[in-house]
Amino acid sequence: MFKLEKKDAILLLIVALMLIFAPFILNPFPENSGLAQFNAGYPDLMQRFVFFGIFAIGFNILFGLTGYLSFGHAIFLGVGSYAAIWVMKLLTMNILLAIIVAIIISGLAALVIGWISLRRSGIYFSIITLAFAMMSFALAYSVLTPITGGETGLQPKVTDPRILDSALLAGDTPKANLFGLDMTATYNWQVGDWVFTFNVGYYVAAILMFLCFYLSIRIFSSPFGMMLRAIKSNQQRMNYSGLNSKPYTLAAFVISGMYAGLAGGLMVAMDTQVGPERMFWTASGEVVVMTILGGAGTLVGPFLGAGLIKYMENIISKINVGVLHDWFYWLPDWLENFVVTIIYPFVGKGWNLTLGVIFMLVVIFIPGGLVEGIRRIINWFVKRKNISASREITDSDNMQQAGEIQQAGEEAASRGKNNG
């Protein structure tokens, strides 16, 4: 299917199904129940899953494949956003054009920044990109105020020219649309106690994300992707063998910049506003965290990481003291207070602390991220099954085979240990 290997095709199918049925999957708890706060099936959050999913998938093409750790990827998110908003202000509210322009402009920005920063590798590269991120933020915040709107940012206004659109009716506000399809249109479907929300904007974004994911699978399995991996494993050897690795890394940088630009353009297409904080270096840090948490260098990891972080950000920061007391009311009073006191710093406003702790634990113990964690758990089960199977086998031939499997399992386990 689509020129993919079977494994990748299945993965693509799973992602497609998850994207299509997200309004159901993310809304497992009935409305009005105590658990309804864990629902994530509202358009705003689902859209954010997709934006940051695209952003992280793109970042992964650079970091996961080449190992170049960029601390400035939010620049392209911001550039894409600003480009899109200007298209919406000057040309048309049709998001298609805005998104295309966002991708092109951020690709150009990535070309320039990448060309400069890729002259160095390793830690120098990280610091140059960090410097670019700080510089872009400072520029957007103050110097370029005529273009970026400074601290307040930009929004489409009724008075903007929009030369490609027909004039707005009196009292109408400009709405982001795709050939007349309003991005904010939603349809609520009530089934018993459950309410499922279907949002046009989300599905538009989800289709784009699906395409992005497909493209990233193709890049991963292409000769180009192989070359990038070779650069990651030993750039020196590549250079000695007479290969100029710069065009490859630059291409990866530009591609991931374009992904970020797409994510930025989509953000603008859905919420029609942009501010400089989108380019702040912590935003770049966030995408690094997402990618690592999910699993850098894996296909589905960055998407998982982005979803997990955005979900936790939303859910955990909603929890307050009252909710905690509700949860632990069944404990004796003193123990309840104690538990609540312990947990309280990690929820609500303290959600960043939780994030930091989880991030550190992942980096320390499972550098491959969640995907590696899941794989290790599966390996562990498989290995146990093999051991119990080998006891029953008496045939010497089979014995040998089982021994090999067991050995392989042990090797995998010890490799896991070494990594941790």
Q: What does the binding site for another protein look like in residue numbers (CB under 8 A)?
A: 67, 69, 116, 119-124, 126-128, 130-132, 134-135, 138-139, 141-143, 235-236, 281-282, 285, 288-289, 292, 345, 350, 352-353, 355-357, 359-360, 363-364, 367
CB of 235 to another protein, least distance (A): 8
- The answer to whether 73 touches 287, Cβ cutoff 8 Å, is yes
CB of 358 to another protein, least distance (A): 9
- CA 82 to each of CA 88, 101, 148, 155, 272: distance values in angstroms, whole numbers, following the listed order: 10, 10, 7, 10, 10
Q: Any residues with CB less than 8 A from the CB of 93 and at least 6 apart, and which?
A: 156, 162, 165, 174, 175, 176, 177
Element (H, E) at 335: helix 333-343
Judged by CB, which is closer to another protein: 13, or 138? 138
Judged by CB, which is closer to another protein: 12, or 288? 288
**Encoded amino acid at 46, one letter:** M
Please report the sign of the dihedral spanned by the C-alpha atoms of residue 23, residue 29, residue 32, residue 38: negative
Please report the sign of the dihedral spanned by the C-alpha atoms of residue 361, residue 364, residue 365, residue 370: positive
Straight-line distance from the first to the last Cα atom of the chain, in angstroms, rounded to the nearest whole number:
37
- CA 295 to each of CA 130, 305, 363: distance values in angstroms, whole numbers, following the listed order: 22, 8, 10
Judged by CB, which is closer to another protein: 88, or 289? 289
Element (H, E) at 191: strand 186-191
Q: Any residues with CB less than 8 A from the CB of 228 and at least 6 apart, and which?
A: 61, 65, 66, 248, 249, 252
Judged by CB, which is closer to another protein: 247, or 345? 345
CB of 138 to another protein, least distance (A): 4
CB of 217 to another protein, least distance (A): 24
- Distance, in Å, from the CA atom of 213 to the CA atom of 207, rounded to the nearest integer, reads 10
Written as six digits, the tokens of 329 are 């009311």
CB of 94 to another protein, least distance (A): 34
Judged by CB, which is closer to another protein: 40, or 355? 355
CB of 132 to another protein, least distance (A): 7
CB of 341 to another protein, least distance (A): 12
CB of 236 to another protein, least distance (A): 7
- Distance, in Å, from the CA atom of 315 to the CA atom of 320, rounded to the nearest integer, reads 11
Judged by CB, which is closer to another protein: 128, or 279? 128
CA 45, chain centre distance (Å): 13
Residue with tokens 């370029």: 144
Q: Strand 186-191 vs strand 194-199: parallel, antiparallel, or unpaired?
A: antiparallel
Judged by CB, which is closer to another protein: 367, or 403? 367
Judged by CB, which is closer to another protein: 230, or 292? 292
Judged by CB, which is closer to another protein: 126, or 177? 126
CB of 123 to another protein, least distance (A): 5
Judged by CB, which is closer to another protein: 175, or 232? 232
CB of 36 to another protein, least distance (A): 28
Residue 305 exposure: Cα atoms within 13 Å on the Cβ side: 33
